[in-house]
Copies of this chain bind each other. A is one copy, B any other.
């Protein structure tokens, strides 16, 4: 990773997220914190950002502002994404379903990671276009505007030719007995095939999704290898999932 490359990346992140944290950058870019701090010092001297204790902020305050409620759920999803990313290994073929949480995972994939990502979600494809080590395979189909994912027979058919190592599945509703369900039948078919096409399946679910169900069930809960959820969730709520042999990450 080149120094200038890092600088550009930090700037990008800064614009996108509105802030950067030194320790996070250090982990994600796989360099020491000293190096990140040096970077931030230099970029501050160059007037490119405003350095603060812990990281840096944009020179001009970020254009986008979140209201408080959104902020909480955004923070939570960032944390979930952070944990989910740790499950990825170099060289894997990874299916990524659509959704805001999986998009966050895609954005956080370490920059030196070399892997293949298969996705039916155009925003994820666009986000990964700037990642040097990731080969992106886009699954075609009807664009389902509600979730910004491609669905339909073409999507399922393309998926059926793939054997992936890992699959990040977006979750609307999850229940230990009922299983995983969605409100639209076409999504059901696609997600079902995603699970069938992958060795390991990881679901990322915020606390409010746990114990809920919807009209179309695409899989029993025990098809999951791993469930990533928020730290606040009680052990009692998670016990049924653990009993099914699912690794629960909090």
Whether, in the assembled complex, A130 has its beta carbon less than 8 Å from a beta carbon of chain B, the answer is: yes
Q: Interface-forming stretch among A70-78, A135-143, A195-203, A242-250? A: A135-143
Within 8 A of B (CB), among A114-164: 122-123, 125-126, 128-130, 132, 135-143, 145, 148, 150, 154-155, 158
Contacts known (A132-B19, A135-B142, A150-B140); A2 close to B122, Cβ less than 8 A = no
> Is the CB–CB distance between B138 and A140 below 8 Å?
yes
Nearest B residue to A62 via CB reads B130
Chain copies in complex: 2
> Is the CB–CB distance between B57 and A4 below 8 Å?
yes
When the two chains form the complex, which single residue of B61, B137, B150 contacts A142, counting CB atoms closer than 8 Å?
A: B137
A interface residues (Cβ-Cβ under 8 A, vs B): 2-5, 8, 12, 17-19, 21, 50, 52-55, 57, 61-64, 122-123, 125-126, 128-130, 132, 135-143, 145, 148, 150, 154-155, 158
When the two chains form the complex, which single residue of B3, B135, B158 contacts A53, counting CB atoms closer than 8 Å?
A: B3
> Given known contacts A122-B123, A140-B158, what 7 new A-B pairs fall within 8 Å (CB)?
A3-B52, A5-B19, A63-B129, A122-B125, A122-B126, A129-B145, A140-B154
Instruction: Enumerate the 9 nearest inter-chain pairs by beta-carbon distance, A residue then B residue, closest first.
Output: A140-B140, A63-B130, A136-B143, A122-B122, A4-B52, A129-B145, A122-B125, A2-B54, A138-B150
Enumerate chain B residues within 8 angstroms of A148, measured Cβ to Cβ. 126, 129
Contacts known (A2-B19, A5-B19); A138 close to B141, Cβ less than 8 A = yes
Enumerate chain B residues within 8 angstroms of A135, measured Cβ to Cβ. 142-143
